[in-house]
Amino acid sequence: MMTLKERRFILDICRTKDGVDTWEIQEKQIICTHHRFLPGFFFSLPDPHQYYQLLDGLESAYEVTPSTIRTIYGTEEGFHVQAGREVALKIEEQTQYQARLFNVDIRPEQMLCARTEMVPGGWTDVDRFSPDHDLDLAILEISCNENPHRGSHPGRITITEDTRTRVLDGPERTLIEDLFTVVQDRDPDLILFSDYDTWSGILDTKAKELGLFNSLSRTGRFHTVSARSYYSYGRMEHRLGAKIPEGRIIIDSRQSFMHREGSIQGIFLAARLSGLSPNLASRLTPGTLISTYEVYEALKRGYAVPFRKSDAEACRDITSMRLDYRGGYMLQPRPGVYADVTQIDFTSFYPSIIVKENLSPETLGNKETPGFLPLVLKPILTLRYETKARKKTDPSYAGMDGVLKWMLVTCFGYTGYKNARFGRIEVHEEITRTATRLLKECITLTQLHQGEVLHAIIDCLFIQGGPIETIQKQLEEHTGILTECEHYDWVGFLPQADGSGSF
């Protein structure tokens, strides 16, 4: 059993040139440990004899080992190369993309965590799926009263620690030097910094120009996260770039979606699930988080992660495609105002279907063998049930529940995303087919208990009449999925302008 002295909290984890650094809190002291770690990658060839010159060239420059590559579909023979992404891309190019590559762009800190079961953002003696990792951290809150998009002078800087507030003001050099001095003196583990992702680049540039030690990072070094734009749900989104510190967690309290939806507790839970630093977890989208979590679980189970997807969709004729995909089910309500209506909402409906129906890319033709997606989604689905129940009496669990909710919401969409590591469009379609079948069966079951379903959409029912408690119990028993009820004195469904129904 681990003694109290050995108990450690892994605050941060970051890559270096030849490995990974972990920053751990032990008996109120911060300890940095370097782990030499060069993971390499796997590749397989359709006919290795055809590429003997390539293999000879690789073996003369790098450590190449024949290996059995294990994927969610089975095993194949190939090679492990102790080299980086650039070499992998050259192999692709020289084999005219005939080589299949694995584990090429996996973060080394994530791979190290998967192999050693280290838990960033959590205690070494507590299960990473537990919601009870106490965060006993020294925290500062920082805000600047100027807009970073309008100028490089922060204006007045407000620093709050517990209930004490300090305001910094003055010329630019004095102001920035005072900020770095306060941070170094207080040495917080975590900083909530409004608009940090924009200010980080400005402050780092000023520190270099003025010859100051930028204490926002415990080492003075930073890792750069590049800005990027991406298309999501019909609109263009933009993620700011940032300077990520080492040994200290800094969360942009204004820009971070994960902080807004999940608070500090939720961000540290996301770090534990994904095997990444809370610095990175706070800046990822829910879709990237669920994808990263699946990658971590694959590595932990010994599966190689494909670099380029080759299984996004099987060849099908247009008729079967049109019949297979019909989207979510909706029962159009009749326009009007209805009294005494109850909404019954299924909790994490689509993820629950994935788990219950054993839906995964490799189980489409054989549901008897446990699939990868159900195995990895089940623990966070169970955790979601727990945090959802606990937050009703303890608001501190609301952040973790929010993060899990968004991760589970996006896991369905990622099954149909062409670049998702473990997605396949046929799985996406099977989920919606099953959801439609279950919702129709629930409507019939409600009617058998003298309830009228006024409206049904995707994962919830609007019911008038009938013994609601009995109906709810019957729906949960039939589907095996938990539900929540919300009662309304009245509900109005407005007619559409063309008279075709309600909205």
Sign of the alpha-carbon dihedral angle for 248, 253, 255, 258: positive
Predicted confidence (pLDDT) per residue in 1-23, tens digit: 444 446 899 999 999 988 999 99
pTM of the model: 0.91
How many residues would you count in the chain? Answer: 503
User: What is the average pLDDT across 373-391?
Assistant: 96
| Residue 195 CB partners (closer than 8 Å, separation 6+) | 143, 144, 148, 252, 254, 255
Token pair recorded at residue 370: 């446990």
Pairing of strands 190-193, 139-144: parallel
Residue 437's identity, in one-letter code, is: R
CA distances from 460 to 190, 326, 328 (A): 40, 18, 11
Number of CB atoms found within 10 A of residue 13's CB? 31
Any idea of the CA torsion for 423, 425, 427, 430, to the nearest 10 degrees?
A: 160
Predicted confidence (pLDDT) per residue in 242-277, tens digit: 999 999 999 999 999 999 999 999 999 999 999 999
pLDDT reading at 63 higher than 70: yes
Predicted confidence (pLDDT) per residue in 180-229, tens digit: 999 999 999 999 999 999 999 999 999 999 999 999 999 999 999 887 77
Predicted confidence (pLDDT) per residue in 486-497, tens digit: 999 999 998 888
The band of 62, judged by pLDDT with boundaries at 50, 70 and 90, is very high
- d(Cα 458, Cα 456) in Å, to the nearest integer? 7
